[in-house]
Chains A and B, each alone.
Chain A
Amino acid sequence: MFDPGIGLSEVYMVAGMALVTFGIRYIMFPLSGRFRFPNLFARGLRYVPPVVLSAIIVPSVLMPDGQALNLKLSNPYLIGALAACVIGGLFKNLLLTIVVSMAVFLGVQWCFALG
Chain B
Amino acid sequence: MSQSVTHFSQGRLSMFFEGAKDTFPLIVGAIPFGIIFGTLAATAGISFGATIGLSMFVFAGASQFVCVGLVAAGTAWPMIVLTTFVVNLRHMLYGATMVPFYKNLNPLWKIVLSFGLTDETFAVAVSRYSRRDGALDKHYYNLGSMVFMYLNWNLCTIIGLTAGKAFPEISQWGLDFAMPATFIGIVIPYLVSKPMWASVLTAGTVSIMASGLPHKLGLMVAALAGVAAGLAWELFVSVKKEVVQDV
Contact = CB atoms under 8 A, between A and B. Distances in A.
Interface string A48-85: 11111111111111110000010000001100110011
Contacts of B123: 49
Given A17-B80, A45-B97, A95-B24, A54 B47 contact: no
Contacts of B96: 28, 32, 37, 45
Interface residues of A, number: 70
A26 B246 CA distance: 24
Interface string A13-43: 1111110111011111100100001001001
Nearest to B199: A47
Contacts of A97: 181, 184-185, 188
A29 B53 CA distance: 25
B111 A26 contact: yes
A75 B98 CA distance: 38
Contact of A14 (B57, B181, B182, B186): B57
A48 B182 CA distance: 17
Given A10-B50, A94-B185, A54 B207 contact: yes
A1 to B, nearest CB: 7
A64 to B, nearest CB: 9
B84 A21 contact: yes
Interface residues of B, number: 93
Main secondary structure of the interface of A (DSSP, over half): helix
Contacts of B119: 49, 52-53
Contacts of A4: 49
Interface in A85-115: 85, 88-89, 92, 94-95, 97-99, 101-102, 105-106, 109
B77 to A, nearest CB: 4
Given A3-B48, A32-B99, A84-B180, A44 B222 contact: no
26 contacts: A10-B47, A12-B81, A18-B57, A20-B85, A21-B88, A24-B92, A28-B96, A32-B99, A46-B97, A48-B93, A49-B94, A51-B230, A54-B222, A55-B222, A56-B179, A56-B207, A58-B205, A60-B179, A60-B180, A63-B211, A77-B177, A80-B177, A84-B181, A97-B184, A102-B177, A109-B174
Interface of B: 24-26, 28-29, 32, 46-50, 52-54, 57-60, 62-63, 67, 71, 76-78, 80-81, 84-85, 88-99, 102-103, 110-111, 114-115, 117, 119, 122-123, 126, 174, 176-191, 195-196, 199-200, 203-208, 211, 218-219, 222-223, 226-228, 230-231, 234, 244, 246-247
List 10 A-B pairs, minimum CB-CB distance, nearest first. A51-B226, A16-B81, A3-B48, A6-B49, A28-B95, A55-B222, A94-B25, A18-B57, A13-B77, A95-B25
